[in-house]
């Protein structure tokens, strides 16, 4: 036997000198003597794609992550052949390509280095599977910080951490545990107060080392596929996040009820139990919009079936719940029970829709129904079939939303917890193994579910929830952070996970309130609720193995506290809906870490607890037992205490009182916060008046409120109402100007405006330059007035 020792011992291989260069419009190609091609694509002046091939050949250019609606175009592109490098210049960036080794350096127009290759691109042949392990290393500069990466149970600043993206069923995971349920290979770097982002679009198992192994090196690599990454320049973090979110997409607006409070458990059954839970919510006047049915509603855990013993008439039950204001959400898993008498199984068999092993037999794995087979959701024909399976559930029975779980896919009783790596996938016409398709499997399942629910919910908007996700999954559904634990540590983890997910382009996210595994005490449950009502998706979910976890499960004191905070969420629904509108229109994250809010303040770079809810509310949860308050950091600006109206100047750390019935909550000076009356469910009441809480500021501040029909698609045709307010405060004056877009007519005619921090006594009020009688506007001391909703300028004079 002859062994090719040269190949066997080559190890890492590197590009050598450039021998060819060409430009095709927005694409520039550099070819090295040893067969490496670097393709640089200018998407925008501040967004650039870097793609590397070896052996002169690119793989087919296909990605599940990239949206169909990416904004492309640049103002300037110049390529110059200099010594010792090529220089690519846009209006925002200069990119230097070294002619000797293909290393890349990116600087801004002030010649500040944003990113530079250390070893740069290199690769290692994979003798076990074929193809390459592709690698990239970059210089980590002094003081550089790193954020993003989606679902990670770690400090928001990832400096010194190493993470792995391999979508994994991680029951009862712990702090810093890797990997978890999602793969979002996108990070934000912050260097010298300038932000950039890198998205490594590779669906194999990927790894990121943020100066963990070597303090001056940050690197990322993948077990296969291409070195294919996007670079985004800020200089602000919100520029980076908006560019990444534009690339990978945003969802459509959810129905408003999806932003209400939801209650779930593994499992609510039989039918009487479901109705008893619903009745208890209404009896105790605790608002709730949705009840979830976990796997026990099915017949032997077979998807798209009902257990006739426990749910003899699901259509009637769903209708009765709907009459009482509850939407019904059902779980669907990917594992299809092997049963020749089971119609879903037989349809998939007849059409060849199940995944196969490399040598031909179907892949089998044990899940809740027993031995199962798994549809190949990377096949568009399978997705179309799967979408149509929802007809009976949605169109005929009246289910309002679907929850896809176990879609990593999770497989029981195997060390890997998932499918064999040799399982074959269609990958939309690019056949591959599970090594490449694993991270997108759950994404493509929920994509098919979204298409089905949307089809059969029409003309109403769909609601879909997933556990597993890859970058771009936010286009289809909400998500949650998986099987957490009822501990104080997990309360901290939930807080940082939400901030990180929102900064990673995926804002419609929540956690299992109170913890999925084990049992919280009343204090932990209350503190968790005080955090979670400020998360975009708000749901209690628990395993059911450790006791009850409904809002009333911990005694009257905790019930009253929980009710108050759920009611606060319902009051803030127009504010939350406006947050979602800004997310889909601007790519602006619904929650922001303090570093996102003010990256120039170095005090924010390592803060984990405080966050901005929307654009004008500051929240800092209490995360330790037996606390009567806590220290927290106030970022730039001035902040009103929501509970007391006390004003605090930003840029300081202070002790804030927070007994068990309070959470530190502050409103940005100058904000106008819209509120609805408390409802037991969305749509229970017609909104007769919109409340506006106005927080005085000497200076100017802008606010918004977005409204529409709350479900349906008329908003896409202009049937929406977007009110933009500009507040200008002076020593003895307050001016509020209103600008309105859209042709939706809101059901209310008046605003109830309540003033906070007004430094003068109201003497006179003008509406659109005409003085009004103070009795006509129902002046209530100095606190509130009532005015018509269509004013252009409200001018308040005082002394």
Q: Which residues are catalytic?
A: 405, 408, 483
> How far, in Å, CA of 246 to CA of 233, rounded?
14
275-283: list long-range contacts, CB under 8 Å, 24+ apart.
275/317, 275/320, 275/321, 277/550, 278/321, 278/324, 278/326, 279/324, 280/550, 280/552, 281/326, 281/551, 281/680, 282/324, 282/325, 282/680
Nearby residues of 414 by Cβ (< 8 Å), 6 or more positions away: 365, 366
Q: How far apart are CA 202 and CA 234, in angstroms?
A: 23
CB atoms closer than 10 angstroms to residue 662: 20
Residue with tokens 């982002």: 197
Report the alpha-carbon distance of residue 498 to residue 510 in Å, rounded.
7
Tokens coding 160 = 């010194």
Hey, is 5 helix, strand or coil? helix
Q: Which of 137, 250, 353 is nearest to 589 (CA)?
A: 250
Residues 632, 630: Cα–Cα separation, whole Å: 6
Burial string for 259-285 (b: 16+ CB within 10 Å, else e) reads bbbbbbbbbbbbbeebbebbeebeeee
Q: Is residue 68 classed as helix, strand or coil in its secondary structure?
A: coil
Tokens of 169: 């069923």
HSE, CB side, 13 Å, CA atoms: give it for residue 548.
8
**C-beta neighbour count of 766 within 10 angstroms:** 15
């059969």: which residue's tokens?
Answer: 456
- In which residue are the tokens 């977005």 written? 706
CA 300-306-312 angle, to 5 degrees, is: 120
Pair type for strands 104-108 and 113-125: antiparallel
Cβ 151 vs Cβ 176: under 8 Å: no
The tokens 């001018």 sit on which residue?
795
Q: How far apart are CA 170 and CA 420, in angstroms?
A: 18
> What are the tokens at 163?
């993470």
Per DSSP bridges, beta strands 401-404 and 327-332 are: parallel
H helices, E strands: number in the chain? 12, 51
Question: Minimal CA–CA distance to 484: which of 473, 476, 475, 492?
Answer: 492
Q: Look at residues 28, 58, 56 and name the one whose alpha carbon lies nearest to residue 41.
A: 28
CB atoms within 10 A of CB 23: 12
How far from 615 is each of 2, 576, 603, 669, CA to CA, in Å? 67, 10, 19, 12
**Residue 222, SS3?**
strand
Write the DSSP assignment of 759-792 as a string of letters.
-S-EEEEEETTEEE-TTTTT-BTTTEEEEETT-S
**For residues 596 and 748, what is the distance between their CA atoms, to the nearest angstrom?**
36
Please name the residues in contact with 715: beta carbons below 8 A apart, sequence gap of 6 or more. Answer: 253, 708, 709, 744
Q: How far apart (Å, rounded) are the C-alpha atoms in residues 308 and 375?
A: 26
């Amino acid at each position: 036997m002859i062994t090719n020792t040269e190949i066997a011992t080559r190890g890492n291989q590197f590009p050598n000198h450039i021998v060819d260069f060409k430009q095709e419009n927005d694409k520039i190609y550099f070819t090295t003597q040893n067969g490496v091609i670097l393709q640089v694509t200018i998407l925008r002046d501040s967004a650039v794609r870097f793609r590397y091939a070896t052996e002169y050949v690119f793989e087919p250019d296909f990605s599940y992550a990239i949206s169909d609606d990416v904004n492309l175009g640049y103002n300037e592109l110049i390529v110059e052949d200099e010594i010792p490098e090529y220089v690519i210049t846009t209006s925002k960036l200069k990119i230097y390509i070294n002619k000797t080794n293909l290393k890349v350096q990116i600087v801004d127009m002030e010649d500040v280095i944003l990113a530079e290759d250390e070893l740069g691109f290199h690769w290692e042949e994979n003798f076990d599977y074929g193809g390459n392990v592709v690698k990239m290393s970059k210089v980590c500069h002094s003081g550089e910080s790193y954020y993003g990466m989606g679902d990670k149970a770690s400090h928001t600043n990832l400096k010194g951490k190493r993470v792995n993206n391999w979508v994994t069923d991680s029951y009862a995971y712990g702090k810093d545990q890797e990997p978890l349920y999602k793969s979002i290979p996108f990070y934000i770097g912050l260097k010298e107060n300038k932000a950039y982002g890198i998205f490594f679009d590779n669906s194999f198992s990927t790894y990121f080392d943020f100066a963990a192994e070597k303090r001056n090196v940050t690197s990322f690599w993948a077990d296969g596929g291409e070195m294919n990454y996007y670079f985004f320049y800020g200089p602000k973090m919100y520029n980076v996040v908006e560019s990444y979110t534009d690339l990978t997409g945003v969802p459509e607006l959810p129905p408003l009820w999806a932003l209400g409070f939801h209650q779930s458990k593994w499992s609510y059954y039989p039918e009487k139990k479901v109705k008893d839970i619903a009745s208890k919510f209404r009896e105790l006047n605790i608002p709730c919009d949705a009840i979830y049915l976990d796997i026990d509603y099915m017949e032997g855990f077979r998807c798209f079936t009902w257990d006739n013993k426990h749910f003899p008439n699901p259509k009637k039950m769903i209708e009765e719940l709907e009459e009482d204001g509850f939407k019904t959400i059902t779980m669907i898993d990917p594992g299809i029970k092997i049963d020749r008498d089971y119609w879903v199984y037989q349809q998939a068999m007849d059409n060849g829709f199940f995944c196969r092993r490399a040598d031909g037999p179907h892949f089998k794995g044990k899940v809740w129904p027993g031995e199962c087979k798994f549809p190949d959701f990377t096949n568009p024909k399978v997705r179309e079939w799967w979408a149509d399976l929802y007809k009976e559930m949605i169109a005929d029975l009246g289910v309002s939303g679907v929850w896809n779980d176990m879609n990593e896919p999770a497989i029981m009783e195997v060390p890997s917890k998932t499918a064999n790596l040799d399982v074959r996938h269609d990958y939309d016409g690019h056949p591959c193994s599970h090594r490449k398709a694993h991270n997108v499997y759950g994404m493509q399942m929920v994509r098919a579910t979204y298409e089905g629910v949307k089809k059969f919910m029409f003309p109403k908007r769909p609601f879909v929830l997933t556990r597993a996700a890859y970058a771009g999954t936010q286009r289809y559904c909400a998500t949650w952070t998986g099987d957490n634990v009822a501990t104080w540590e997990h309360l901290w983890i939930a807080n940082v996970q939400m901030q990180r997910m929102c900064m990673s382009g995926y804002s419609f996210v929540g956690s299992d309130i109170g913890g999925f595994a084990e049992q919280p005490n009343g204090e932990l449950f209350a503190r968790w609720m005080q955090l979670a009502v400020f998360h975009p998706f708000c749901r209690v979910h628990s395993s059911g193995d450790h006791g009850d976890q409904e809002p009333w499960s911990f005694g009257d004191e905790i019930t009253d506290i929980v009710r108050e905070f759920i009611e606060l969420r319902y009051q803030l629904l127009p504010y939350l809906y406006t947050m979602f509108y800004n997310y889909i229109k601007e790519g602006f994250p619904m929650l922001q870490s303090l570093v996102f809010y003010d990256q120039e303040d170095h005090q924010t770079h390592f803060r984990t607890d405080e966050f901005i809810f929307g654009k004008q509310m500051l929240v800092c949860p209490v995360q330790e037992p037996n606390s009567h308050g806590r220290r927290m950091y106030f970022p730039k600006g001035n902040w009103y205490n929501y509970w007391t109206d006390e004003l605090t100047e930003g840029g300081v750390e202070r002790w804030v009182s927070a007994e068990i019935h309070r959470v530190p909550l502050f409103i940005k000076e100058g904000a106008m916060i819209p509120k609805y009356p408390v409802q037991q469910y969305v749509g229970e009441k017609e909104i007769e008046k919109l409340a506006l809480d106005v927080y005085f500021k000497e200076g100017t501040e802008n606010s918004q409120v977005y409204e529409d029909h709350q479900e349906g698609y008329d908003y896409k045709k202009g049937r929406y109402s977007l009110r933009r307010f500009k507040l200008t405060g002076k020593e003895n004056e307050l001016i509020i100007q209103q600008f309105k877009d859209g042709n939706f007519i809101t059901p209310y005619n008046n605003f109830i405006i309540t003033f906070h921090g007004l430094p003068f006594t109201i003497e006179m009020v003008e509406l659109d330059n005409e003085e009004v009688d103070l009795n006509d506007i129902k002046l209530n001391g100095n606190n509130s007035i009532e005015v018509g909703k269509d004013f252009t300028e409200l001018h308040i004079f005082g002394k």
